Amino acid sequence: MVKKTIIDSKTFLYGVIGDPVSHSLSPAMHNSAFAHIGYNGAYLAFNVKDVGAAIAGVRGLGIKGLSVTIPHKLTVMEHLDEIDDKAVKIGAVNTVINKYGKLYGYNSDCLGATNALLEKTSIKDKDVVLVGAGGAARAIGFGIISEGGNLTILNILQDEGEKLAEDLGVEYYHLSEQKKVECQILINATPVGMTPNTEAMPVERAFLNKDMAVMDIVYNPLKTRLLKEAEDIGCITVDGVSMFVYQGVSQFESWTGEKAPVDVMRNVVMDALAK
């Protein structure tokens, strides 16, 4: 039974910072989870351009935790007190916890991505192409290597792509050179295809083949054009909801110390996307 949440002076405040952030389903997911377990928390979306000012606000207002999304997962690290070893290795933070005024950075994208993929396919010894080199791509790339995958980076910005490839010890190709690489798993870790630009694709249709597993971290729309094209060819597909929910579960449990209601969180996201 869902418990009624009363907002009062003892309510813990959480939120997501990003730019843009209006599309985010994190508030719906986390607020439903808070209500379900009777936790006195509220979660809001903040469109942020100045990360330093936002983090100062977290300190000043005593906000208990943050989700961090595009494009702030790297920049936010400069403003925190301590960063978890795994997040340091990844080079990106998507979760902030306020512990008695000290701000700690973590990364739950890595676990979210690998768990989502492993539901559908193995990773070990597979050739994996990762499109993108931002904060989410860093986490996913780290996860793929940790699971024994053979990774290649495709990215449109050469300096960014080369830096991530160097950090992970893998190869990089410019997005225009996609014909030079082959893979068994393709992952889109860019916002390409996200609402409202739903007709865009991160790679050409000709890059896909029926023996691939194709994952898209974009979850709005649930079925991106990339996933539609992959499905039509006969690929195994992994949508962005699984990664989104798994990383949110990790955040929720880190913030509250309570077991996350995973099914509730997944159902809320699916219902929101259906609308």
Q: Answer yes or no: do 252 and 207 share one domain.
A: no
The answer to whether 151 and 141 have CB atoms below 8 angstroms apart is yes
In a domain, residue 168? The reply is yes
Q: Answer yes or no: do 207 and 229 share one domain.
A: yes
Contacting residues for 122 by C-beta, under 8 A, at least 6 apart = none
The answer to whether 70 and 92 have CB atoms below 8 angstroms apart is no
Domain residue limits at 115: 110-238
Q: What is the full per-residue pLDDT of the chain (275 aa) written as tens digits?
A: 455 668 899 999 999 999 999 989 999 999 999 999 999 999 999 999 999 999 999 999 999 999 999 899 999 999 999 999 999 989 889 999 999 999 999 999 998 999 899 999 999 999 999 999 988 899 999 999 999 999 999 999 999 999 999 999 999 999 999 999 999 999 999 999 998 899 999 999 999 999 999 999 998 888 999 999 999 999 999 999 989 999 999 999 999 999 999 999 999 999 998 87
In a domain, residue 136? The reply is yes
Domain count, the chain: 2
Query: Exposed, middle or buried: residue 57 (CB in 10 Å: 0-12, 13-18, 19+)?
Result: middle
CA-nearest of 79, 9, 96 to 87 is 96
Q: Answer yes or no: do 206 and 120 share one domain.
A: yes
Residue 5 pLDDT: 65
Q: Answer yes or no: do 246 and 227 share one domain.
A: no
Residue 3 pLDDT: 58
Q: Answer yes or no: do 97 and 119 share one domain.
A: no
Task: Identify the active-site residue in 10, 64, 73, 210.
Answer: 73
Q: Answer yes or no: do 193 and 77 share one domain.
A: no
Q: Answer yes or no: do 21 and 90 share one domain.
A: yes
CATH number at residue 158: 3.40.50.720
Whether 73 is catalytic is yes
Q: Answer yes or no: do 129 and 206 share one domain.
A: yes
Residue 14 per-residue DSSP state: E
CATH number at residue 265: 3.40.50.10860
Q: Answer yes or no: do 24 and 131 share one domain.
A: no
In a domain, residue 2? The reply is no
Q: Answer yes or no: do 54 and 141 share one domain.
A: no
In a domain, residue 3? The reply is no
Q: Answer yes or no: do 134 and 69 share one domain.
A: no
